[in-house]
Protein backbone atom coordinates (compact mmCIF):
# COMPACT_ATOMS: atom_id res chain seq x y z
CA UNK A 1 0.00 0.00 0.00
CA UNK A 2 2.98 2.35 0.38
CA UNK A 3 2.97 2.86 -3.36
CA UNK A 4 -0.47 4.52 -3.20
CA UNK A 5 -0.86 8.27 -2.82
CA UNK A 6 -3.83 10.11 -1.32
CA UNK A 7 -4.40 13.83 -1.89
CA UNK A 8 -6.37 15.72 0.76
CA UNK A 9 -7.94 19.05 -0.21
CA UNK A 10 -9.45 21.48 2.30
CA UNK A 11 -9.34 25.26 2.63
CA UNK A 12 -9.13 25.01 6.42
CA UNK A 13 -5.51 24.66 7.51
CA UNK A 14 -6.54 23.15 10.86
CA UNK A 15 -8.34 20.31 9.06
CA UNK A 16 -5.28 19.56 6.94
CA UNK A 17 -3.03 19.70 10.03
CA UNK A 18 -5.35 17.33 11.87
CA UNK A 19 -5.21 14.90 8.95
CA UNK A 20 -1.41 15.16 8.77
CA UNK A 21 -1.09 14.29 12.46
CA UNK A 22 -3.71 11.55 12.40
CA UNK A 23 -2.41 9.80 9.29
CA UNK A 24 1.30 10.07 10.00
CA UNK A 25 1.89 6.33 10.37
CA UNK A 26 -0.49 5.10 7.68
CA UNK A 27 0.85 2.86 4.88
CA UNK A 28 0.43 5.31 2.00
CA UNK A 29 1.88 8.57 0.79
CA UNK A 30 -0.10 11.73 1.57
CA UNK A 31 -0.27 15.07 -0.19
CA UNK A 32 -2.16 18.16 0.95
CA UNK A 33 -3.70 21.14 -0.86
CA UNK A 34 -5.65 24.09 0.51
CA UNK A 35 -7.58 24.82 -2.69
CA UNK A 36 -8.91 23.19 -5.83
CA UNK A 37 -6.36 25.08 -7.90
CA UNK A 38 -3.48 23.82 -5.77
CA UNK A 39 -4.90 20.28 -5.95
CA UNK A 40 -4.91 20.42 -9.77
CA UNK A 41 -1.29 21.62 -9.75
CA UNK A 42 -0.34 18.69 -7.51
CA UNK A 43 -2.20 16.26 -9.79
CA UNK A 44 -0.20 17.50 -12.80
CA UNK A 45 3.10 16.71 -11.05
CA UNK A 46 2.28 13.58 -9.01
CA UNK A 47 0.65 10.22 -9.48
CA UNK A 48 -2.37 10.29 -7.17
CA UNK A 49 -4.64 7.30 -6.61
CA UNK A 50 -7.24 8.75 -4.22
CA UNK A 51 -8.49 12.29 -3.65
CA UNK A 52 -10.40 13.41 -0.55
CA UNK A 53 -11.86 16.90 -0.83
CA UNK A 54 -13.96 19.29 1.15
CA UNK A 55 -17.15 20.38 -0.60
CA UNK A 56 -17.33 24.07 0.25
CA UNK A 57 -14.20 25.99 -0.65
CA UNK A 58 -13.71 29.48 -2.09
CA UNK A 59 -12.93 29.92 -5.80
CA UNK A 60 -13.54 26.26 -6.72
CA UNK A 61 -15.95 23.96 -4.91
CA UNK A 62 -15.14 20.35 -4.19
CA UNK A 63 -17.82 19.37 -6.69
CA UNK A 64 -16.13 21.43 -9.44
CA UNK A 65 -12.77 19.92 -8.52
CA UNK A 66 -14.13 16.37 -8.63
CA UNK A 67 -15.71 17.02 -12.02
CA UNK A 68 -12.31 18.04 -13.42
CA UNK A 69 -10.61 15.09 -11.71
CA UNK A 70 -13.19 12.68 -13.12
CA UNK A 71 -12.59 14.00 -16.64
CA UNK A 72 -8.78 14.32 -16.56
CA UNK A 73 -7.92 11.49 -14.15
CA UNK A 74 -10.80 8.99 -14.33
CA UNK A 75 -9.00 6.26 -12.38
CA UNK A 76 -8.57 8.35 -9.24
CA UNK A 77 -10.96 7.24 -6.49
CA UNK A 78 -12.94 10.29 -5.33
CA UNK A 79 -14.12 10.91 -1.75
CA UNK A 80 -15.78 13.89 -0.11
CA UNK A 81 -15.05 15.05 3.44
CA UNK A 82 -17.50 17.77 4.38
CA UNK A 83 -19.55 19.25 7.17
CA UNK A 84 -22.10 20.35 4.59
CA UNK A 85 -24.57 17.51 4.24
CA UNK A 86 -27.53 19.00 2.41
CA UNK A 87 -29.22 16.16 0.48
CA UNK A 88 -29.25 17.95 -2.89
CA UNK A 89 -25.52 18.59 -2.65
CA UNK A 90 -24.89 14.98 -1.69
CA UNK A 91 -26.90 13.65 -4.62
CA UNK A 92 -25.21 16.03 -7.05
CA UNK A 93 -21.78 15.02 -5.78
CA UNK A 94 -22.59 11.35 -6.07
CA UNK A 95 -24.22 11.60 -9.49
CA UNK A 96 -21.80 14.02 -11.15
CA UNK A 97 -18.54 13.09 -9.52
CA UNK A 98 -19.07 9.38 -9.06
CA UNK A 99 -18.10 9.65 -5.42
CA UNK A 100 -16.82 6.50 -3.75
CA UNK A 101 -17.72 7.69 -0.22
CA UNK A 102 -19.04 10.79 1.52
CA UNK A 103 -17.49 11.34 4.96
CA UNK A 104 -19.10 13.89 7.27
CA UNK A 105 -17.19 16.29 9.51
CA UNK A 106 -16.40 15.84 12.28
CA UNK A 107 -15.12 12.37 11.51
CA UNK A 108 -13.98 9.56 13.77
CA UNK A 109 -10.41 8.95 12.66
CA UNK A 110 -9.81 5.48 14.04
CA UNK A 111 -13.33 4.03 13.86
CA UNK A 112 -14.36 5.41 10.48
CA UNK A 113 -11.92 7.52 8.48
CA UNK A 114 -8.92 5.19 8.31
CA UNK A 115 -11.18 2.28 7.42
CA UNK A 116 -12.75 4.23 4.55
CA UNK A 117 -9.30 5.19 3.23
CA UNK A 118 -8.28 1.52 3.28
CA UNK A 119 -11.47 0.64 1.39
CA UNK A 120 -10.65 3.31 -1.20
CA UNK A 121 -7.12 1.93 -1.66
CA UNK A 122 -8.50 -1.61 -2.00
CA UNK A 123 -11.09 -0.34 -4.51
CA UNK A 124 -8.36 1.39 -6.54
CA UNK A 125 -6.20 -1.75 -6.49
CA UNK A 126 -9.11 -3.94 -7.58
CA UNK A 127 -9.91 -1.71 -10.55
CA UNK A 128 -6.23 -1.36 -11.51
CA UNK A 129 -5.88 -5.14 -11.49
CA UNK A 130 -9.06 -5.53 -13.56
CA UNK A 131 -7.80 -2.97 -16.11
CA UNK A 132 -4.47 -4.78 -16.36
CA UNK A 133 -6.28 -8.09 -16.89
CA UNK A 134 -8.54 -6.62 -19.60
CA UNK A 135 -5.53 -5.12 -21.43
CA UNK A 136 -3.88 -8.57 -21.32
CA UNK A 137 -6.98 -10.12 -22.86
CA UNK A 138 -6.99 -7.51 -25.62
CA UNK A 139 -3.36 -8.33 -26.45
CA UNK A 140 -4.25 -12.03 -26.69
CA UNK A 141 -7.02 -11.26 -29.17
CA UNK A 142 -4.68 -9.42 -31.54
Mean pLDDT of 130-141: 70
pLDDT digits (tens, 9 = 90+) for 96-133: 657 888 887 777 777 788 889 999 999 999 988 887 77
pLDDT (0 to 100) of residue 7 = 97
Residue 80: is its pLDDT beyond 70? Answer: yes
β-sheet with 5-9: strand ranges across: 29-33, 5-9, 50-53, 77-82, 101-104
SS3 label, residue 5: strand
105-to-10, 18, 40, 59, 85 alpha-carbon distances in Å? 12, 12, 23, 21, 9
Give me the phi and psi of 76, to 5 degrees please. -70, 130
pLDDT (0 to 100) of residue 65 = 93
Residue 96 CA to residue 84 CA, distance in Å, equals 17
pLDDT digits (tens, 9 = 90+) for 27-43: 999 999 999 999 999 99
Give me the phi and psi of 7, to 5 degrees please. -105, 125
Residue 118 CA to residue 28 CA, distance in Å, equals 10
pLDDT digits (tens, 9 = 90+) for 43-67: 999 999 999 999 888 999 888 999 8
pLDDT (0 to 100) of residue 13 = 93
Residue 50 CA to residue 18 CA, distance in Å, equals 18
Q: What is the pTM of this model?
A: 0.86
Q: Judge contact between 103 and 81, C-beta under 8 A.
A: yes
Sorted by sequence, the CB contacts under 8 Å of residue 34 that are 6+ apart come out as 9, 10, 11, 13, 16
Amino acid sequence: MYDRTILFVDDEEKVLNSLKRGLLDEPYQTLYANSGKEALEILEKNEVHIIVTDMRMPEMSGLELLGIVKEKYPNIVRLVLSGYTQINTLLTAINQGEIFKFITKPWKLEEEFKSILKQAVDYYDLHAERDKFEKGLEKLKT
